[in-house]
Structure 1
Amino acid sequence: MKTVTTTPAATGFRQLTSYEIDYPMYAVCHFWSIDAYIEEFRMDVYYWIKTSCSLSDDQFGDPYYFELIHAQCIKLLEIAHVLFSDYADFKIDKDHPLRRQRFSVFGHYLEDQQVLRCPDLYFRTLDGKEINDVTIFFEDFFEFKSLDEWYLILDQLLINSREETSVVRNAEIGPLILEINEYLEKLMESIYVVYQTQAINFIAEHHPELLD
């Protein structure tokens, strides 16, 4: 069993430890096995962004958890950056049950399915090509905004979720808020694809305690 270090990494990352950077599959599996459940997290992020966009003092979801949601989004962002920078192969094997034979979005994909099952149900925003190879999404994600720009966006969302100001009035972020929301939803789905297709095997060998 590998030894885990829990000190923050001296790389400019805010959330990942040095161990998680060296072994990103550990970070992936810890996040989805211990830290968060994808459907609950999806709604938490949605309500957090909705609160950030509110033109009044209305709050959606539980504001007590907004800082945690922000930190978790930062962690997923950093995991994606490490995975993308590693130039790893994330293509799903042709015989893998998660592989999409059609490249259409979720609604059209369901038309061909007789049984709705997990984890297929979790991938509602990624299209078929992005599921079959999440590198396609990572390229798009970091072409849309750089790592530092994503930090600024997430920080601004946190600020606006705490104050009676709306992020939609931000000249740079406001016009893109719908795209940002979709990208963040795709981000969590993409890391969950890696969790289902690669991380669980790594953890079963090196950190079985995460699967207990």
Structure 2
Amino acid sequence: MSSRDNLRYHQLTKEQISNPHLFLEYFCRCDIDIETFRTEILQLIRSACSSKKYGNPEDYYYNHRCLLQFLEVAHIFFRRGKKFSIAANLTVCTPCTTDLSKYYHILINSHFRILSHEEIRNTNCFFADFFGYKSLNDWRFMFSRITEYAYRTQTIDEVLEDGAEMVFIKEYIEKLIEVIYLIDNTQSVIYLQNAASIN
């Protein structure tokens, strides 16, 4: 990527911009699990849409920064045209592929329940829809507004032109979380597939 691209991404290191999997490996495997992060972000959104505070308000800015990192990683994958997928290749039906298929099914039902089947099979479908709905900078602005209104008594719904837009925003953010963890899981799955093929 060019030095101009490095200026576009403020939340990631040069190494993470060059290889976003470095960020995913640290965040998704070491920092916080998908369901805990999902809950914290949904509490942040709920606080922005209410005069009450949900979750720990001291974590709002940290979670905002994490969302910005997810956004930048997603944009890098989108710009590079990278496609990730969790789908078992059942053309060769062995005990390993059957187990892998069960593993995928459990992952999808447990953690990737908002993503469509098409988005699970091709993450670019989600990225095209996500960045078609709002640009990178528009998403940044929206994440900042959500965090800002999480602290206020006035709700974000009151200042948006279309208050119902938050329903779509919430779904997009939840899908963003799922797709980032899905991409990280594809890296684990590659390891599992390679280990299974050795046996």
TM-score by length of 2: 0.80
Once the two structures are TM-superposed, the CA of residue 120 in structure 1 deviates from its matched residue by 3.9
Amino acid at match of 1:78: E
**Residue 11 of structure 1: SS of its match in structure 2?**
helix
Q: CA–CA distance in 1 between the matches of 2:30 and 2:143?
A: 22
Is contact 1:167-1:173 (8 Å) kept? no
- What does the per-residue CA deviation read over 1:132-190, in whole Å, with 9 as the maximum and x for residues that have no partner? 11110000000011000001100001110112121001234633101000000000111
2:24 corresponding residue in structure 1? 28
Amino acid at match of 1:169: E
Q: Paired residues, what number?
A: 177
Please report the RMSD computed on the Cα atoms of aligned residues, expressed in angstroms. Answer: 2.5
Q: CA–CA distance in 2 between the matches of 1:23 and 1:118?
A: 24
**Residue 74 of structure 1: SS of its match in structure 2?**
helix
- Structure 1, unaligned runs of 5 or more: 1-8, 102-112, 203-212
| 1:68 pairs with one of 58, 62, 65 | 62
| 2:126 pairs with one of 137, 141, 150 | 137
2:169 corresponding residue in structure 1? 180
Is contact 1:29-1:199 (8 Å) kept? no
**Residue 154 of structure 2: SS of its match in structure 1?**
coil
Q: 1:156 to 1:128 in 2, by over 3 A?
A: same
Instruction: Pick which of 148-157 and 168-177 moved more.
Output: 168-177
1:108 corresponding residue in structure 2? none
TM-score by length of 1: 0.76
Q: CA–CA distance in 2 between the matches of 1:12 and 1:167?
A: 26
1:37-186 matched pairs, under 5 angstroms = 37-54=33-50, 56=51, 58-92=52-86, 94-95=88-89, 117-118=106-107, 120-172=109-161, 174-186=163-175
Q: CA–CA distance in 2 between the matches of 1:200 and 1:80?
A: 19
